Amino acid sequence: MASSIASRRSWVHDIHWEYLIPIGSVHLLACLALLPWCFSWSGVVLALVGTNVFGTLGINLCYHRLLAHRSLVVPRWLERTLATIAVCSLEDTPARWVATHRLHHVHSDEDPDPHTPRHGIGWSHVGWLFRPAYNRRSLAFFDKYARDILSDPYYLFLEKHPTSTLWIYTLHAALFAAAGGIVGWFTGGDRAHALQLAASWLVWGVYVRTVLVWHITWSVNSLTHLFGYRTYSTGEDSRNNWLVGLLAMGEGWHNNHHHDPASASVQHRWWEIDVTYYLILILERAGLAKNVIRPRHLRRAART
């Protein structure tokens, strides 16, 4: 009996409930999209557009290329705005995301790599999130991999109050529902239509969109270390995957990225479309981005 109780306790402690509960809950809420009452074409448009806004601007541009690799510099107000958009994708605090990603680059496809597919595709895609990793919550870990991030008071606040990310996510979900209700009221003229559109915008514009952003991001961790072609010998399993490249707005050219992680661009051939980099160039042209790091071959050409 004692051993059985101890076994159950061990099983409970082996699950990272802080991640499992929100991820599972949002997936269940996204299933409401299967109900005809929650459907609207405007909701579908919000899901598709929002996947690019929150995923491309928030995760790709801000969390990945701006914060994790410092491939460009933007004004502080813009950086924090983009980081808040990323938080609305519920992919962890800026410091945790950046520190984990930098660890991945240092030990890519080795045992310390948090999400290497060498432990299985299910593990690399999402399973790694559901196992506690206390070493990645220590002060020593953050000091080594995210000291520059936590030097910003806003990011430090988010890290000291991790539930604040859930409140930000909840608030932005409420704004989507409220906007849907207002539009529904003025276009339908009655309470029932307003309620239906509010539900549709919430389910599609928030929950479905969040799930889409999650799986696109997770596919970079899993699929691009298993399937695709290798342009460079990088000492790990990274690959260029055209499907993920298109869905993730450039992030799928992962072998290019591991070859030159400092670069703001992962487009090394004309057909390796990198929409995230095009947005960076727009910011640069508008005077909102500077010190944009070009690909290594362009940096070498500029030096010679």
Q: Place 13 in a pLDDT band, splitting at 50, 70 and 90.
A: confident
By the 8 A CB rule, do 188 and 133 touch?
A: no
Looking at residue 7, what is its pLDDT? 44
Sign of CA dihedral 96, 99, 104, 110: negative
- The 10s digit of each residue's pLDDT in 106-119 is 999 999 999 999 99
Q: Which spans in the chain are helix H? A: 2-13, 17-30, 41-52, 76-87, 94-106, 121-125, 139-145, 147-150, 153-160, 163-188, 191-202, 209-222, 242-247, 254-259, 275-285, 296-303
Q: How far apart are CA 254 and CA 232, in angstroms?
A: 10
SS3 188: helix
Q: Place 6 in a pLDDT band, splitting at 50, 70 and 90.
A: very low
Q: Place 303 in a pLDDT band, splitting at 50, 70 and 90.
A: confident
80-84: Cβ within 8 A, 24+ apart? 80/152, 80/154, 82/57, 82/58, 83/58, 83/154, 83/155, 84/168
Q: Place 77 in a pLDDT band, splitting at 50, 70 and 90.
A: very high
* pTM of the complete model: 0.94
Looking at residue 133, what is its pLDDT? 86
Q: Place 134 in a pLDDT band, splitting at 50, 70 and 90.
A: confident
DSSP state of 250: T
Flag whether pLDDT at 241 surpasses 80: yes
Looking at residue 117, what is its pLDDT? 95
Averaged pLDDT of the chain: 94
Q: How far apart are CA 42 and CA 204, in angstroms?
A: 9
Mean pLDDT lowest among 62-76, 130-144, 275-289? 130-144
DSSP 112-177: T-TT-GGG-HHHHHTGGGGS--GGGGSHHHHHHHSHHHHTSHHHHHHHH-THHHHHHHHHHHHHHH
Q: Place 162 in a pLDDT band, splitting at 50, 70 and 90.
A: confident
Q: Give me the mean pLDDT over the 89-104 stretch.
A: 97
Q: In one letter, which amino acid is 224?
A: T
Q: Count of CB atoms within 10 A of residue 230's CB?
A: 15
Give residue for tokens 């945790």: 96
- The 10s digit of each residue's pLDDT in 180-211 is 999 999 998 789 999 999 999 999 999 999 99
Flag whether pLDDT at 30 surpasses 80: yes
Looking at residue 300, what is its pLDDT? 81
Looking at residue 302, what is its pLDDT? 80
Q: How far apart are CA 234 and CA 237, in angstroms?
A: 8
Query: What percent of the chain stands above pLDDT 90?
Result: 88
Give residue for tokens 């953050």: 142
What backbone phi and psi angles, to 5 degrees, belong to 267? -90, 105
By the 8 A CB rule, do 105 and 2 touch?
A: no
